[in-house]
Amino acid sequence: MIKMKFKYGIFLLILFSFANSLFAQKFELTADKTTVKQNERFKVYLSFDGGDRSSLKGYRPPSFKNFSVLSGPNQSSSMSIINGSVSSTITYSYIIVAPNLGEFTINSASLQFNGEEYKTNSLKVKVVKNTSKTQTNNNNSQAMSNEELKENVFIKATADKRNVVKGEQVTVTYKLYTKLNISSPQISKLPQYKAFWAEELETGKNIQFGTEMYEGVRYRSATLKKVALFPTKSGKLTVTPFELEIPVLVKRKAQRSNDPFDSFFNDSFFGRTETIQFLATSNKVTINVSPLPEKGKPESFAGAVGEFNFNATLDKNEVKANDAVTLKLQVSGKGNIELIDLPEVKLPPGFEQFDPKSSKNVKNNGIVSGNKSEEYLIVPRVPGRKEILPLMFSYYNPKLKKYIGQESPKFIINVTQGDKEYATTNSGFSKEDVKLLSQDIRFIQTSNFDLEKKDRGDLIKSWFWGMLIFPLFLMFVVLGVKKRQDKLSGNVQLVKSRKAEKKAKLRLKDAQKALDENNLEKYYDEVSKGLFGYLEDKFQLQKSESSIEKVSTLLAKSNVNSDLIREVEEIIEKCEFSRFAPQAPEVASDLYNETVKVIVEIENLITGKKKK
């Protein structure tokens, strides 16, 4: 009896394994044609076989670059139950056309099932010349052509200036114009600002449409993006286009038919519509940047361009030795605040100077403005009358087309004797307190001593040699550690690279705090800063050089796999798009976890390879 039950159990196990193999999960991309004519419609299918459809989530469609989507995604499903196992087939279908000749690739799609990601294959489609006029006419009769879409939906990029000097602000505005009904656009490609320092300007949380006349035609328009650009080099500089994938709702054109019912239902009264995926691309923006004039350039000029005011203050002029004094420098006004370098403070002998505390406040309302300051803590060590020479700040005013210099007053500090005594040297000061003995000459006892001859071996013990050698060993250890610290602190970029992951996690803590407060705008901004800041520190990038393309290239050179690079690009694009279509908090939380995971994976890959 036991043997029979055992055999029966083995049989059920084999049957269950066989049933599971029949319904193994598979995600596949197919098309009814792989060689099509120009502007000919054809269907693309993405089918997922096996498993319960309720466990499917996170569907990401393929990129239909070089194609126009006329309809889709259209979803259909079928379900079967065998021996209690539920299996279903989900199919996403699209109707697309290829407006250009050549061979193009439809990239893979992906979705998640039970926590695992499944990807389709890619598919190559060859587009040949269409010699049949009838076919083209039929296509145009049922959907709006690509040329018609370009006339009715487009993005216009404009610059408030075309000719500037190096460091002068240029404001670029991206506007969406449409005469058709559209739904939420998706960012396809962000513009790149090579050789510019870019500052995003405030445009509001959501897209607001209004009515505007453009070239004599009435459109609904909305500002998508405004950015302040500060050129960091001279020459002819170009801003790349901004691309959006826009779902456009258009009415289907009636087909000619002898059937009276078709004529009746194709009447515009019934308003039959379909959604067309249209890729809107803005124009390029070219800026002519002239170098700053050499004539009249002062020695104190350090690159500030705009309209500024310089101010330097000292909190007190009468002080005792060894008491602190605060010297504050501040520049305020309009221009490239982020790129400004404040004058270097040079103190006379007798002062100890500590590293300055820096702060800034930048406002991005149309014209970039704000202030930048540094506070120096200085300690006089030697009594006397001390003078701090005037500080000079220079900037170039593009409106007046000339350099302007502003000078601080000369600071005089009267230093009186302090409460504590400090040893002074020829240099004028010493950092350490020197404690004097109560007696500098000790009394020598003159009474007789009983001197007893000792054996030499008893005089020098083994512990004495240990105590003698240990300080020498400790000195070598300290010197080695100090040499390494000096090397690291001298290599600022190496320090930044080593601390990149730690700084990114601190930034992401601010993002998590903003998410807890339901401040999604600040949340996406902090996530973007955390990821970009990590990559800039890791690859020793200046902010003006950082872009998606640059980061992707550096990651590829570091042998980071393409899937991880694509995740980085998607995170950055999601953060940028958050203004157009704010996500729910639970979706935003997924983005936070995804960003942490990506940073950890990149850190493990890069540091692991360096160690090897």
35 pLDDT more than 80: yes
Q: What are phi and psi of 205, to 5 degrees?
A: -75, -40
pLDDT for residue 525: 80
Surface-to-core class of residue 321, CB atoms within 10 Å of its CB (0-12 exposed, 13-18 middle, 19+ buried): buried
Q: What are phi and psi of 312, to 5 degrees?
A: -130, 130
The gap between the terminal CA atoms of the chain, to the nearest Å, is 61
Q: Decide which of 99 and 588 is more confident.
A: 99
Q: Which of 93-107, 112-126, 206-220, 528-542 has the lowest mean pLDDT?
A: 528-542
What is the spatial distance between Cα 576 and Cα 581, in angstroms, rounded to a whole number?
10
At 492-502, the pLDDT tens digits run 444 555 566 67
146-254+269-290: CATH topology is: Immunoglobulin-like (2.60.40)
CATH number of 494-611: 1.20.120
Q: Which two tokens stand for residue 353?
A: 């100077």
59 pLDDT more than 60: yes
The band of 17, judged by pLDDT with boundaries at 50, 70 and 90, is: very low
Percent of the chain residues topping a pLDDT of 90:
15
pLDDT for residue 365: 81
Nearest to 97 by CA among 44, 175, 173: 44
| CATH label, 22-142, candidates 3.50.90.10, 2.170.120.30, 2.60.40.10, 3.40.718.10 | 2.60.40.10
At 404-432, the pLDDT tens digits run 999 999 899 998 987 655 544 433 443 33
Q: What is the mean pLDDT of residues 52-79?
A: 76
Q: Decide which of 3 and 190 is more confident.
A: 190
Q: Let me know if the fold of 301-416 is the same as that of 494-611.
A: no
Q: Is residue 495 within 8 Å of residue 537, measured between CB atoms?
A: no
Query: Whole-model pTM?
Result: 0.48
Nearest to 199 by CA among 302, 334, 398: 334
Percent of the chain residues topping a pLDDT of 70:
74
Q: Is residue 365 within 8 Å of residue 201, measured between CB atoms?
A: yes
Q: Which two tokens stand for residue 266?
A: 């194709």
What CATH class is the domain 301-416? mainly beta
Query: How is the chain split into domains, by residue range?
Result: 22-142, 146-254+269-290, 301-416, 494-611
As a whole number, the mean pLDDT across the chain is 76
What is the spatial distance between Cα 29 and Cα 46, in angstroms, rounded to a whole number?
5
At 304-341, the pLDDT tens digits run 999 999 999 998 889 888 888 999 999 999 998 888 88
What is the spatial distance between Cα 64 and Cα 277, in angstroms, rounded to a whole number?
9
At 66-113, the pLDDT tens digits run 888 877 777 777 666 555 555 677 888 888 888 888 888 888 888 777
Question: How is 372-398 classified by DSSP, letter by letter?
Answer: EEEEEEEEE-S-EEEEEPPPEEEEEET
Alpha-carbon separation of residue 381 from 284, 318, 323, 377, 523 (angstroms): 60, 14, 8, 13, 48
125 pLDDT more than 80: yes
Cis amide bond preceding 73, omega within 30: yes
For 458-495, letters b (16+ CB in 10 Å) and e give eeeeeeeeeeeeeeeeeeeeeeeeeeeeeeeeeeeeee
262 pLDDT more than 60: no
Q: Is residue 284 within 8 Å of residue 239, measured between CB atoms?
A: yes
Q: How many CB atoms lie within 10 A of CB 457?
A: 7
pLDDT for residue 489: 54
Alpha-carbon separation of residue 159 from 171, 185, 240, 366, 500 (angstroms): 6, 23, 13, 13, 35
pLDDT for residue 598: 82
Q: Which of 14-28, 431-445, 485-499 has the lowest mean pLDDT?
A: 431-445
